């Protein structure tokens, strides 16, 4: 039965081949159909197979690997341990960053250094406020990436705005963005990847929690001398060290300007900053305020401070001034105790008439 069928198909084949190729070899018709086909065209199958292998390898290398590389870059964690903003000048700063990049370490790859930008993630427009050069890194599980660069402030408005946010906000999101190339070890090709990390960092939160201690009033200071001295404890919840310089603030009690306060050579470090402050206060206004019904009971007055000058080596640092003047910082001052300690007078409330 099967034999017969085979013979029939062989006959058909023979007929066809006779039509198409009158000089077909006599042996061909005897071969079994499928196997014969394979034997005759093995080279074609091999070619197809090679093509598929090459295609798959190419796809893996040129589509898969870049995708994996990008995925690995996306998965890598950038953490910042410290930032120093020093050598502060009107148009430039030295920026030092200690950071770590953590990966799962599953891929060995060299990542080229690149020029990136930093911008405020949550400010529409996302205008870069700094250009920054990242060094080359590898895919190691845990790497230190320490940067120290002299940076020219290219966009003053954007940099000033960053400083305003940094001074005012409890937290802020800063994105580091750049395009670079990855070379997985074992491959000779480099693939373009995007490096984009948003860091949720702590800002200065308007120095919330600042205290003033050891205040001393000098009723009749020499000309040009301050009439108030104290020690302020300024908290810095961020990991930034800022070389601010001589910072002067205008002080207000409610809406009344009561004079200026200066913090000389302010170098703000992370954590607690105990710094001397001097002030020239309008003593009559302060006395009136502390004796008013509003404040006489406790003697504690929430004094508002607004930056009015930031000068370093004779030059105004506008970006810090913007940061310190865009909002009022409120500092509760125990004026009652200060008066008592300095002058021996106890503040009493006005007699209600």
**277 makes contact with ligand NAG (CB under 6 A):** no
Pair 241, 82: CB distance under 8 Å? yes
Who contacts 140 (Cβ-Cβ below 8 Å, separation ≥6)? 103, 105
CB half-sphere exposure, 261, CA atoms < 13 A? 25
**332 makes contact with ligand NAG (CB under 6 A):** no
Rounded CA-CA distance 202/167 in Å is 10
Interface segment toward ligand NAG; rule CB under 6 A; list 62-70, 223-231, 307-315, 332-340: 307-315
Pair 119, 131: CB distance under 8 Å? no
Nearer to ligand NAG (CB atom), residue 6 or residue 170: 170
Rounded CA-CA distance 112/110 in Å is 6
**178 makes contact with ligand NAG (CB under 6 A):** no
- C-beta neighbour count of 229 within 10 angstroms: 17
**170 makes contact with ligand NAG (CB under 6 A):** yes
Beta partners for residue 317, in sequence order: none
Rounded CA-CA distance 171/169 in Å is 5
Candidate list 21, 74, 171, 218; residue touching ligand NAG; CB under 6 A: 171
Interface segment toward ligand NAG; rule CB under 6 A; list 11-19, 101-109, 301-309, 331-339: 301-309
Candidate list 2, 188, 255, 353; residue touching ligand NAG; CB under 6 A: 255
Q: Is 32 helix (H, G, I), strand (E, B) or coil?
A: coil
Candidate list 36, 66, 82, 221; residue touching ligand NAG; CB under 6 A: 82
H or E segment to which residue 192 belongs: strand 191-202
Interface segment toward ligand NAG; rule CB under 6 A; list 26-34, 260-268, 290-298, 337-345: 260-268
Find the shortest distance in angstroms from Cβ 264 to ligand NAG. 5
Pair 265, 228: CB distance under 8 Å? no
Nearer to ligand NAG (CB atom), residue 171 or residue 346: 171
**189 makes contact with ligand NAG (CB under 6 A):** no
Candidate list 65, 69, 73, 83; residue touching ligand NAG; CB under 6 A: 83
**235 makes contact with ligand NAG (CB under 6 A):** yes
Number of residues that bind ligand NAG (CB under 6 A): 54
**102 makes contact with ligand NAG (CB under 6 A):** no
**92 makes contact with ligand NAG (CB under 6 A):** no
Nearer to ligand NAG (CB atom), residue 84 or residue 160: 84
- C-beta neighbour count of 38 within 10 angstroms: 13
Rounded CA-CA distance 12/303 in Å is 106
- C-beta neighbour count of 239 within 10 angstroms: 17
Site string for ligand NAG, 44-73 (x = CB under 6 A): ------------------------------
Candidate list 31, 89, 306, 340; residue touching ligand NAG; CB under 6 A: 306
Who contacts 284 (Cβ-Cβ below 8 Å, separation ≥6)? none
For CA atoms 316, 324, 211, 252, the dihedral sign is positive
Rounded CA-CA distance 142/76 in Å is 10
Phi and psi at residue 118, to the nearest 5° = -120, 135
Of residues 147-166, those binding ligand NAG (CB under 6 A): 154-155, 158, 164-165
Summarize as ranges the residues that interact with ligand NAG (CB under 6 A): 81-84, 96-98, 122, 128-131, 144, 146, 154-155, 158, 164-165, 168-173, 200, 205, 208-209, 235-237, 245-246, 248, 252, 255, 259-260, 264-265, 270-272, 280, 304, 306, 308-309, 311-313, 327-328
């Amino acid at each position: 039965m099967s034999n017969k069928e085979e013979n029939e198909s062989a006959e058909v084949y023979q007929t066809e081949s006779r039509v198409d190729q009158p000089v077909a070899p006599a042996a061909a018709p005897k071969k079994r159909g499928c196997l014969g086909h394979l034997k005759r065209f093995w080279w074609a199958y091999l070619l197809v197979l090679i093509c598929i292998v090459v295609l798959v390898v190419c796809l893996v290398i040129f589509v898969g690997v870049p995708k994996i590389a990008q995925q690995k870059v996306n998965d890598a964690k950038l953490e910042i341990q410290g930032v120093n903003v020093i050598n502060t000048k009107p148009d430039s700063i030295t920026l030092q960053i200690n950071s770590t990049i953590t990966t799962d370490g599953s891929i060995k790859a060299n990542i080229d250094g690149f020029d990136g930008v930093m911008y405020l993630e949550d400010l529409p427009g996302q205008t870069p406020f700094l250009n920054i050069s990242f060094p080359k890194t590898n895919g190691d599980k845990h790497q230190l990436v320490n940067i120290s660069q002299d940076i020219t402030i290219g966009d003053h408005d954007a940099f000033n705005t960053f400083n305003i946010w940094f001074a005012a906000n409890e937290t802020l999101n800063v994105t580091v963005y750049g395009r670079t190339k990855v070379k997985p070890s074992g491959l000779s090709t480099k693939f373009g990847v995007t490096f984009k990390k948003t860091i949720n960092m702590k800002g200065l939160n308007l120095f919330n929690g600042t205290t003033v201690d050891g205040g001393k009033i000098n009723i009749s200071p020499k000309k040009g001398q301050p009439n108030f001295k104290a020690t302020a404890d300024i908290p810095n919840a961020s990991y930034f060290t800022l070389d601010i310089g001589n910072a002067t603030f205008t002080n207000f009690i409610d809406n009344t300007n009561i004079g200026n306060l200066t913090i000389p050579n302010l170098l703000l470090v992370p954590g607690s900053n105990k710094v001397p402050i001097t002030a020239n206060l309008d003593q009559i206004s302060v006395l009136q305020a502390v004796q008013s019904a509003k404040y006489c009971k406790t003697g504690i007055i929430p004094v508002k401070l607004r930056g009015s000058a930031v000068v370093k080596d004779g030059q105004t640092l506008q970006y810090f001034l913007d940061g310190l003047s865009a909002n009022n910082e409120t500092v509760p001052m125990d004026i009652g105790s200060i008066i008592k300690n300095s002058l021996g007078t106890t503040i009493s409330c006005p007699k209600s008439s």
